[in-house]
Structure 1
């Protein structure tokens, strides 16, 4: 029952009387109830993902769990949006984020939250400075678990400042609240939802041979369908044009990346159709 610590995650604190309202006005999902977590993103006004994150509601306020390389820009943007709100925004130095999965329990006495995207992803926990934990796995093992579940990760399966939330499957993974009030980029996200215009998605492919390297172009009949992202033995995730994938399947064309054949697979947690898998729209 594995436990691991993430090497490239960072934490920020958002505290103060206006913290909940402040985040609710900015992020794609509502702020969580005390003791719970939400998956959300801060977007550009054009609807592109600046950073996706986990928002944890703790006794003091909120904690944001983000990719470490996105934290400086996120803090800068949140500070610009603060204006006169009674909010304290700062990095949490020395804190680490861990994950327990496949039935493992997080360490006793630390703040812990079920992954709000999919329960099968495990339980995330926040480790204060100077507190040790007995790891019995490494992050790579959890990444393989994530890929097996078909769940995208920013910086690996979609590019920040370039992808829309629907392309990163955030609408399928509880990262967008379509009933909440306004937030940055909401108009674009709502339009994509109601018009069904998300032509590009991260989807899984079975690999018949060695997994192609991340960033490798996926081709069919000389036409580019998308690019390879995360991979493990026998499976990769890929950011793919669904309409071009449908054309390739209908035409009986082989789908390849660096000479390796790829076969689309269905996602049990997704409601959108993946051409060639028999999944329903």
Structure 2
């Protein structure tokens, strides 16, 4: 489905309404992003909730529905832990928390990312803007809210709408199952829900996904995030990786000679072709925790966080020292494999990545 437009009803997402004069203040004190960016209905942001030690409990989208009313869209796998977290910090706040999952549903409109003709990477910015214009509505409890996915245009258009409603989309958008959405976000290198549990926000690239503010005031777990950004280095990150069966010798040889680069680079045309043709038709099964090594070593350089279902890609925690150019200018080639040798592994840079400092592994502010 990477080469086709899709509409997915996100049945794994929960919807929480936070309402009241202290709603924004309550969220501001516990979320990694800055609530001040939400100034009017339909404004949306991405963020995460952390433990006091700065580890991720879960992530969410926060959308302003009306004045003093916000909807939180989050994965059901972290529902219990987040509920306990919210209850702990809501004391003496004039805000109500109400589950709205039975009234609202979350949906995602996903424009095609790869051309099925020449396998080029498709710019989707205009398509996303067109979808937003076609679904212009006054945000309310009766109509819901439609918004650009705050993580980046490649993630498409999101909506939290009444369960019996749908989006106004061109005929080319086919309704698809939940695994299609997972394949898309895994290709983009984004983890969600339980996949993020206990991770360090910057290693999970949450700040690159516009989910962390370094300019807001204090919030729960901020100390570790700030210390890492301003005083430390990020030595490993969540990245998308592709798996190619070792038996595909010609393709393996071609892709093993290229440097780490963005998925839209001309040099990765063979990979994009593989992902929408042979890669989308062959059985693929990679488990969480699968170790990725260099062929000449048994030492792990990466481990799988979450794998796609219809496309041979995964989000993996990768040590950046094996990908980024050395100070001498030497550029490492992508010679990686699963520990059992069954697959050649190609890490690639998401197209939404901003400038990242080679020496520190951190976003250039």
After TM superposition, the score normalised by the length of structure 2 is 0.67
Which is richer in helix? 2
- The 5-angstrom pairing of residues 1-281 of structure 1 reads 1-31=5-35, 32-34=38-40, 35-59=42-66, 61-94=69-102, 95-102=104-111, 103=127, 104=131, 109-129=143-163, 131-133=164-166, 136-155=175-194, 158-160=195-197, 162-209=198-245, 211=284, 213-215=286-288, 216-220=290-294, 221-228=297-304, 229-231=306-308, 233-243=311-321, 254-257=335-338, 258-259=340-341, 260-270=343-353, 271-272=355-356
Q: Give the secondary-structure state (helix, strand or coil) at the position aligned to 1:136.
A: strand
Give how far 1:77 is off: 1.4
Q: Distance in 1 between matches of 2:230 and 2:6?
A: 40
Q: Could you say if the C-alpha distance between residues 192 and 241 of structure 1 is closer, same or farther in structure 2, counting changes exceeding 3 Å?
A: same
Is the radius of gyration larger for structure 1 or structure 2? 2
CA contact (8 A) 2:154 2:352 kept: no
Q: Distance in 1 between matches of 2:287 and 2:219?
A: 32
Paired positions, count: 272
Match of residue 115 from structure 2 = none
Which ranges in structure 1 are unaligned for 5 or more consecutive residues?
none
Which is richer in strand? 1
Q: Distance in 2 between matches of 1:148 and 1:217?
A: 18
Q: Could you say if the C-alpha distance between residues 80 and 235 of structure 1 is closer, same or farther in structure 2, counting changes exceeding 3 Å?
A: closer
Q: Could you say if the C-alpha distance between residues 110 and 16 of structure 1 is closer, same or farther in structure 2, counting changes exceeding 3 Å?
A: closer
Give how far 1:179 is off: 0.3
Q: What's the Cα RMSD here? A: 2.8
